[in-house]
Amino acid sequence: MSNQISRLVVAAIGAPLALGLVWLGGWWLFALVAVAGVFALHEYWLMVKPLRPLSLAGYGGFFAALVGAKLEGVVWMTGGLLLVFALSFVFQGMSRTRAPATVAVSSTVLGAAWLGFGLGSLLLLRDLPVHGRLVTFAVLLAVWAADSLAYFVGRLIGRHRLAPVLSPGKTWEGFVAGVAAAVFVTFVALYRQHFLSIGESVVLGFVVALVEAAGDLFESMLKRDMQVKDTGRLLAGHGGMLDRLDALLFAAPAAYWTILALT
């Protein structure tokens, strides 16, 4: 199966499943983000294995952040994530390896915070008291539209590299197409719902477009630093779970705080 076909097959199966669980919300969505997060964190631990991350501490901080977000909101999500520091201290003290504590703990906290805040913010979006379901749909679809259009436009007409050192395959043409796609999706989804004005919907679209591109480049930077091409092969043409979530991990927190600022 070619890379293009495998990408379409995975998207055709995964997108309806994700949207269906977002529609249900509650613990159904929690289960989705928890499972996706476990796979993504596992891929992250493998990527940064030379740094000797404390994976058990990272999983603990990640799950504490998700539970906090689900039960009590952003304050408890932050408090839950702070557990990773205490666990890192304990496990580093028990470890038999001679890895530098600064490196091991830093790589552990990065993984837990990256996944915990990113996916926890998706739970916070869904639990917004007004139009939480609609907003989460809009953000997901905007991220997917931006990512997909940037990929295809970049391959078709891309000539000018966006970040040649971090990710040579990304182009300015694809980036502009992705921004347009994200703005269009959020505008169509939200501006007539008596929730955001036209201008606010456009602002949210721009924020999502910019940070989802930054999230993609952030993962590319880590992969380049650790000298890996993909974080995994779980999702065939999409790479690993972390490759699929990278943009959303930046977009969900940015969308949540932007909406709080606008409403």
Residue 248, helix vs strand vs coil: helix
Place of tokens 């977000």: 69
pLDDT, greater one: 128 or 99: 128
Q: Which two tokens stand for residue 69?
A: 């977000």
What is residue 255's predicted lDDT score, i.e. its pLDDT?
96
Q: Which two tokens stand for residue 175?
A: 């980036």
Q: Which two tokens stand for residue 79?
A: 């408090």
Please compute the mean of the pLDDT values over residues 187-209 and round it to a whole number: 88
Return the percentage of the chain with pLDDT > 90, whole number.
65
* Beta strand pairing call for 161-163 and 167-171: antiparallel
Q: Model confidence at 5, in pLDDT bands (50, 70, 90)? A: low
What mean pLDDT is reported for the chain? 89
Taking a C-beta distance cutoff of 8 angstroms, is the pair 182, 208 a contact? yes
Domain limits for position 96:
3-262
Place of tokens 């926890």: 120
Choice among 1-10, 21-30, 175-184, 236-245 with the minimum mean pLDDT: 1-10
Please compute the mean of the pLDDT values over residues 165-173 and round it to a whole number: 86
Q: How many domains does the chain have?
A: 1
The Cα 190–Cα 202 span in angstroms is 9
132 pLDDT above the threshold of 80: yes
41 pLDDT above the threshold of 70: yes
pLDDT, greater one: 176 or 237: 176
What is residue 1's predicted lDDT score, i.e. its pLDDT?
46
Taking a C-beta distance cutoff of 8 angstroms, is the pair 138, 189 a contact? yes
User: How many C-beta neighbours within 10 Å does residue 253 have?
Assistant: 21
- Dihedral sign (CA 110, 112, 115, 119): negative
Return the percentage of the chain with pLDDT > 70, whole number.
92
What is residue 191's predicted lDDT score, i.e. its pLDDT?
79
The Cα 260–Cα 95 span in angstroms is 42
What is residue 238's predicted lDDT score, i.e. its pLDDT?
57
What is residue 12's predicted lDDT score, i.e. its pLDDT?
73
Taking a C-beta distance cutoff of 8 angstroms, is the pair 208, 185 a contact? no
What is residue 193's predicted lDDT score, i.e. its pLDDT?
75
Using CB atoms within 10 Å of the CB of residue 180, give its burial: 0 to 12 exposed, 13 to 18 middle, 19+ buried: middle
Please compute the mean of the pLDDT values over residues 119-133 and round it to a whole number: 94
What is residue 165's predicted lDDT score, i.e. its pLDDT?
84
Q: Model confidence at 219, in pLDDT bands (50, 70, 90)? A: very high
Taking a C-beta distance cutoff of 8 angstroms, is the pair 167, 154 a contact? no
Please compute the mean of the pLDDT values over residues 180-188 and round it to a whole number: 93
Please compute the mean of the pLDDT values over residues 85-106 and round it to a whole number: 86
Choice among 20-34, 123-137, 180-194 with the minimum mean pLDDT: 180-194
Q: Which residues of 116-128 are buried (b: 16+ CB within 10 A; e: fewer)?
A: bbbbbbbbbbbbb
Q: How far is residue 27 from each of residues 34, 98, 244, measured CA to CA in Å?
A: 10, 40, 22
88 pLDDT above the threshold of 90: yes
27-37 pLDDT tens trace: 999 999 999 99
